[in-house]
Amino acid sequence: MDIIFELKNVSYSYIKSIPALIDVSFNVNKGEKLIILGANGSGKSTLLKLMDGLMKPDSGHILAFGRSILNMKNDEEYEFRRKVGYLFQDSDVQLFNTSVFDEVAFAPLQMGLEIKYVKSMVDKALESFGLEKLRDRPPHRLSGGEKKKVALASIMVINPEVLLLDEPTNGLDPRSRKWLINMLINLGNRGKTLIISTHDLDLAKSLADRIVIMNESHTIETIGKPHEILDNSKLLESVNLI
């Protein structure tokens, strides 16, 4: 089985005396739906940002597709960004263009694709996510669920192999949440590798092939199959998830 990500003894601190992650090690396999489960403040979001190369660890190594993501050269970073999409917990952080169409077109334009191809790609993405009627709307004037759809469409337009999703169901109404979970299930069924940070036990139950549990000491408590984790109330209580 192909290994997509390898994390080896990764540690990170925002302030030296306050660690956010301590000695984290695990692999992610191709096509796997991996849930990183933990209470707020356990380091889940930090971990995803490190895996996306948005920050560098204080120590340890992170490999993606067999190569270190630390100090990537321009061509290596281009290839990495083409393969890996990142969904921020707060959609407002991710959306910055003046219209939904421009938001979804941003990534393929940055890749240097011709305008006519970009327009076709964006039209298909908008249709896929049910956003055709919103194409000319400013993203900041949309509802929370609509913003999440636009943010996900802006990633999926370039068809990445891997999705890093930070608390994707956070703040969504029930209808939007159901839509998102079904979309993620469909993406997983299409062979996408999904790495999702969350404290949402129902999301983990719906999606996970494997679960990494982070504890409040910012280390990995355990890694296991969904039934091993989600049926263990003593474990979930010890890491402040129930």
What pLDDT digit, counting tens, does each position of 53-108 carry?
A: 999 999 999 999 999 999 899 999 999 999 999 999 999 999 999 999 999 999 99
The dihedrals phi and psi of 49, each to the nearest 5 degrees, come to: -65, -35
Cβ atoms of residues 94 and 154 within 8 Å:
yes
Quickly list DSSP for 70-130. TT--HHHHHHHHHHEEEE-SSHHHH--SSSHHHHHHHHHHHTT--HHHHHHHHHHHHHHTT
| Alpha helix positions (H), 157-199 | 174-189
Task: Kindly state the DSSP code that residue 139 receives in the 8-state scheme.
Answer: G
Number of domains in the chain: 1
Say yes or no to pLDDT of 20 above 80.
yes
Nearest CA among 101, 138, 137, 103 for reference residue 120: 101
Mean residue pLDDT of the chain comes to 94
Mean pLDDT computed over 1-27: 93
Q: Which helix (H) or strand (E) holds 198?
A: strand 193-198
Tokens of 166: 């930070």
CATH number of 180's domain: 3.40.50.300
Say yes or no to pLDDT of 111 above 90.
no
Mean pLDDT computed over 211-240: 97
**What pLDDT score does 211 carry?**
98
pTM: 0.94
**What pLDDT score does 139 carry?**
95
Tokens of 32: 């796997």
Look-up of token digits 């100090």? 71
The dihedrals phi and psi of 43, each to the nearest 5 degrees, come to: 110, 10
Contacts of 92 by beta carbon, 8 Å cutoff, 6+ apart: 140, 147
Give dist(CA 159, CA 161) in Å, integer. Answer: 7
**What pLDDT score does 10 carry?**
98
Percent with pLDDT over 90 in the chain: 90
Mean pLDDT computed over 176-188: 92
Contacts of 96 by beta carbon, 8 Å cutoff, 6+ apart: 103, 139
Residue 1: pLDDT band by 50, 70, 90 thresholds? low
Mean pLDDT computed over 165-181: 91
Say yes or no to pLDDT of 17 above 90.
no
**What pLDDT score does 119 carry?**
94
Residue 3: burial class (beta carbons within 10 Å; 0-12, 13-18, 19+): middle
Give the domain extent around 124: 3-238
